[in-house]
Structure formats: C-alpha cells, structure tokens
Amino acid sequence: MQLKFHTLDVFTATRFAGNPLAVVAGADALDTAQMLKIAREFNLSETVFLLATNKPAHTARMRIFTPGGEVPFAGHPTVGTAALLAELHSPETNGERDALIVLDQTIGTVRVGVRQKPGEPAHAEFDTPKLPEPIAGVPPTDLLSAALGLIPSEIGLENHRPSAYSAGLPYIFVPVQSLDAIARASVHMAHWTSAFGKSHAAFLYCRETVHATSHFHARMFAPNLGVTEDPATGSAAAAFAAVIVRFDSPRDGSLKKIIEQGFEMGRPSFIETSLMVKHGKLETVRIGGHSVRVSEGTITV
C-alpha cells in the first residue's frame, strides 16, 4: 500500500526553519501501530494522519503522533494541516484563497481560518478547543534546576514562578532569568523523571528575545514523549496564555504575544498567541502562524 504525504515547515514564513511536520493522506486503512511506526520513520516532532470524516461540515479527521505515541491535540499539526488542505483544495476568489478548515481531532472539533495571498506563505489561526486549566505537580526549584542543568537562582523571572497548565497536553512552565541561561539549558535524564514525571513536558521562557518584535523566548523539552527538543510548540503556547494572565495581570480586552522558539536548534519559529481577557479571566485563546510546503511523495506501508 502506498500513501501520499507532504511535509511542511510550520510557524515560519521561511522554508527550512520553523517546526517540520509530515501529513499522510488517505490513512483510513492504517491501524494505530502502523501509524506509530510511520511517525517514528519520519522522526519529526509530530506526524498527522488524515482520515475520512462522516461529518458533512468537517474537512477531515486527523490523528497526531509523536515518535513516542498519539497525542489528542497539538498546535503546529493543526496550523500546518489546515494550511495544506486549504492550499490543495480551496478555490480562488478575487485573487485570494481564504478558507475555513474544520478538523475533527481527538480533543474535539477545531475550526481553522486560513489566509492565502499570492506570493505569500499561508497563514492559519484557530481558537483552542479547550481553555488552559491548572494542573497539579509543580516540582520544587532544586529538582527543576537539576533536570535542566541550571542553577536554582536562574529559575524565576520577576514575579513569575514555575507553574503547570494544560490546554490538551500538560506542561510545566519554567521562567528563566535570561537568554544566556535558557541557551545553556539541556535535558539531564538522571533527574528528568523526578522533576517532570513520565508525561509532563518542560516549557522554558524568558523575556529577553532575539527579535525585537517578540515578547517571549522559549524552549520545549519532552524526552519522555520522544521529543528531546521541539522547535515550536503550539499546544504549549495555548496553555502559556494562562501563565500570562496569572503573572502579568493584563487589562481586560484583547492582546497578542509573539513567542519565538527553536533558535537554539537552528529552526527559528514564531508563534502568535492572542488572548481575550474579561473580568480578569481568560475567555479565548487563539494560536496562529505561517507555514510553507517543503516536500511531497509516497510512503510504502
């Protein structure tokens, strides 16, 4: 059996940057074990498998796999898959090809708006299907520092302290004092499980940035999910909205934050995180970014 696939670079307007994504079409005949084998063959942060949907208003059903297993939701697969489907199937109207792509994911229905202009990379954005919620199990600073190869005094930023949230996937958010410190962070497996358990990923962030237009610089490590480091993590950016509201106490209304990530990997990425705050509480979170197609072909199963 041969299946068609595409690869894209997501959260970037430049090819060979951002977070690579593989999308395999017509995957209805594959079982879970076969999907995992293919995801490990591509060996990217995530691989998407497209299946037919029995819901007339939906564009496709999709399953998302890391090399370590299936996940119910992820940001860069949502952005990249929607952009790809819009590019392949949306008609042109008045020189533009804007589209609404409705994706049936394990977490629920996700509606993605895709903007396509001639000569520009596709831009996709979506409201997160689930608002971030606090989760238990924030490790003490000494465990975090040992697992990340930092000294305890480098963890903490202004009033920001380590916290834990999930908008579909659980993350421990670790504020770091500087770009220098965050660049020196690395995975120390001897201490990792003690700090993060078997399912939590680490999302490190600081206010110092490489680009003046960015608001936060970030890194994400998830070795227990088969992802030593991720160039751009939309699901973490979605949950990070709760961190912003908790520690920065923004005024009611809408605001937009740009998170830069992947620089230490040579894969610069920019994630747009838009928040709506009402009465001091988070009402909606929207994740957006560009993506560019890189390759296509067939894989034999």
The whole-number pLDDT of residue 117 equals 87
| Mean pLDDT estimate for the chain | 96
260 included as an active-site residue: no
Question: Which residues of the chain have a pLDDT value below 70?
Answer: 95
Give the other-Cβ count within 10 Å of 193's Cβ: 13
SS3 258: strand
The tokens for 139 are 């490790």
Rounded to the nearest 5 degrees, what angle is found at the Cα of 157, between the Cα atoms of 151 and 162? 75
CA distance 28 to 49: 8
Find, among 126, 261, 123, 104, the residue nearest to 182 by Cα: 261
33-57 core/surface letters (b: 16 or more CB in 10 A; e: else): eebbebbeebebbbbbbbbeeeeee
Is residue 260 within 8 A of residue 214, CB to CB? The reply is yes
SS3 129: coil
Q: Which domains does the chain have, with CATH numbers?
A: 2-125+290-300 (3.10.310.10), 133-289 (3.10.310.10)
The whole-number pLDDT of residue 190 equals 96
The tokens for 111 are 């509606």
The tokens for 29 are 């005949």
The tokens for 212 are 């003046």
Per DSSP bridges, beta strands 60-66 and 99-105 are: parallel
The whole-number pLDDT of residue 34 equals 98
The whole-number pLDDT of residue 297 equals 98
The whole-number pLDDT of residue 91 equals 76
Catalytic one of 46, 87, 229, 260: 46
The whole-number pLDDT of residue 69 equals 95
Secondary element (H or E) of residue 180: helix 179-184
